[in-house]
Amino acid sequence: MALPLPSVPASTEADLTRLAPHRIRRCNYRRLISLERPKERVYEAECLYPDRKLPIPIGDLDCCIPICNACTAPHIFRADED
């Protein structure tokens, strides 16, 4: 029989910054850049497809999720994501 988990107290603002609310497919050609902002984590994404020489900026995490998830380039997503 499964035992019930103890209730979790209300999360603080620091706990929320540790969580990853976005779901984005893991790609071999995407580069995430952490921007230094006080009190928050901000990431910019760049696409390095096809030759990894010229990065194409695709915005922050909110902007790049639909772009990356709609990508149909063959073999760019990691094997555990296909």
C-alpha 80/C-alpha 10 separation (Å) is: 33
Residues sharing a CB contact under 8 Å with residue 82, sequence separation 6 or more, in sequence order? none
Domains of the chain, residue spans: 24-81
Residues 51-76, mean pLDDT to the nearest whole number: 86
Helix H or strand E segment including 31: strand 30-37
User: Residue 3: how many CB atoms within 10 A of its CB?
Assistant: 5
Amino acid at 59: G
Count of residues in the chain:
82
pLDDT in tens, 10-63: 555 555 555 555 577 788 888 989 888 788 888 899 999 888 889 999 998 888
Q: Tell me what pLDDT residue 58 has.
A: 92
